[in-house]
Amino acid sequence: MNQQFDVLGIGLNATDTVVLLDQFPPYAGKVAYREEFLSPGGQVATAVVACAKLGLSAKYIGTIGDDLRGQIQQASLRETGVDVSGLIVRQGCPNQTAYILIDPRTGERTVLWHRADSLRLRREEVREEEIGQCRLLHIDGYDIEAAERAGFLARRHQIPVSLDVDTVYPGFESVLRVVDFLVAGSGWPTKWTGEDDPLEALARLQQEYGMRVAAMTLGHYGAVALESGRWYYSAGFEIPCVDTTGAGDVFHGAFCYALIRNLNMMEALTFANAAAALNCTALGARGHLPDVGEVRALLREAETGRRSRLVDLEIEEAATARNSSGAEIGL
């Protein structure tokens, strides 16, 4: 099949209601809020939009409601140049939504979300001819059967698969077996494996499921990855944080860009960290999706000492120690 797109994303989209607070309420408390607005987001949809913003050709496949929130999501995808010919509109169904409360002191967010059962992407709705059109498949695994089929079909066509996961889903093993690049949310590897040591958990995941890269994001402290027996840790970037919503999704989009552009693993992690940081400088899941020039400018600032990095010393030291000893798994 002809590969028409650099990246194909199959997974969640959502349209958020962002609520700006002057102060975060205590438990069972009551506070006035400053402002609210609708903002398109969702794990895979935002990652795919980030890819398009960085200059890749991108396509998104997923289900969407036919309400106002669904219309806002569709408009955002189209305006960024994402191909939506595979979008599946569920009639009479509200789009996935989230209420996101922003703490003004830190930019951190609290998320309340809802997705109607009728939005579930079914296995038979994943078509082989669409999978074969891409160079890289990016999935989130929420609809497990559909994600597993997409990954299986990608493997059939020798197309690498990238996975974003931050929730432990029962029966998720079938998805992990068809993944080449696992980039999990902070804490997921330890929850899935039962290992207290996050690097140990990543190593066990790679050993058990055979993915090429087992990685984990670390919030504002960057990301860590295991590839070919070597550990890579890239620190985060110190930026004026307004809203952390969507940072992980943008990281995944930028990581996909780095894979398509054949960056090495350290370059890929650092590029993705920088893109995610820039998105945190404005409100919303797609508040400030950077282009390549902006990312490179931030990287130059860090290289010349004009921008500080945020280092997780424990992770950095553990990765260095494992590389020195040659140990992938600390048994």
pLDDT at 1: 58
pTM: 0.94
Q: Which domains does the chain have, with CATH numbers?
A: 5-325 (3.40.1190.20)
pLDDT at 105: 79
- What average pLDDT does the structure give for the chain? 95
Read off the pLDDT of residues 227-255 as tens digits, 9 standing for 90 and up: 999 999 999 999 999 999 999 999 999 99
User: Which residues are registered as beta bridge partners of 309?
Assistant: 237
CA neighbor of 283 nearest in space, from 105, 100, 72, 114: 100
Low-confidence ranges of the chain (pLDDT < 50): 329-331
pLDDT at 330: 41
Read off the pLDDT of residues 298-325 as tens digits, 9 standing for 90 and up: 999 999 999 999 999 999 999 999 999 8
pLDDT at 115: 96
DSSP string, 269-325: HHHHHHHHHHHTTSSSTTTT---HHHHHHHHHHHHTTSS-EE--HHHHHHHHHHHHH
